[in-house]
Amino acid sequence: MDFNLETLLNLPFTTIESCQIQDNTVTLILGLLNEQCNCSYCQTPSEEMKRNRPSLIRDLPVFGQPVYLKVPRRQFYCKKCQRYFTEKLSFVDWERRYTQRYESDIFERIKATSIEQISREEELSWAQVQGIFEHQFQKKKRNGEK
């Protein structure tokens, strides 16, 4: 059986550059495949990358082990509007440290148990789990979901 880890990861425009396993935690170092990004102010495509600061983003566990994605957070410069902007990633909400699918999973699990239970299971603080729940609740409320 032939399988590709990137296919299983299922994140658009990403590639897995390497994988590290330490203390029962999996860290996938990702690369982004797109060379340019549209300016978040004027929507003009820009290839002029000024800075790249990787972020550690929590994702769904695999084989019972926590997974973190080390994702490039690229800052571009737009020549048209002369502003700097940070690339938005489709799988992480703005200024969040968890993938959308991880937050959605936490939200659904809290509805069946409690914040305390999920906090213990995921080794997150009560405040972190509460923050995920509130963020997902507000997001679903804006989208008219239940």
User: How far is residue 1's CA from residue 11's CA, in Å, rounded to a whole number?
Assistant: 22
Contact between residue 42 and residue 81 where contact means Cβ atoms under 8 Å apart: yes
The CA-CA-CA angle for residues 17, 40, 55, to 5°, reads 30
Question: Using an 8 Å Cβ cutoff, are 106 and 125 in contact?
Answer: no
> How many helical (H) and strand (E) elements, i.e. helices and strands, does the chain have?
4, 7
- Tell me: the pLDDT tens digits for 1-15? 445 788 888 998 999
Q: What distance in Å separates the CA atoms of residue 71 and residue 52, rounded to the nearest whole number?
A: 10
Distance CA 65, CA 27 (A): 10
Q: Residue 146 — pLDDT band, cuts 50, 70, 90? A: low
Tokens of 49: 């990358």
pLDDT tens string 43-72: 999 998 899 999 999 999 998 899 999 999
Torsion of CA 106, 112, 114, 115, to 10 degrees: 10
In the numeric block, the tokens 């000024």 are attached to 50
Give pLDDT, residue 15.
Answer: 92
Report pLDDT digits (tens) over 81-131.
Answer: 999 999 999 999 989 999 999 999 999 999 999 999 999 999 999 999 999
Beta strands at 45-46 and 14-22: parallel, antiparallel or unpaired: unpaired
36: its two tokens: 């340019």
Whole-structure pTM value: 0.88
Is pLDDT of 39 > 60? yes
pLDDT at site 3: 55
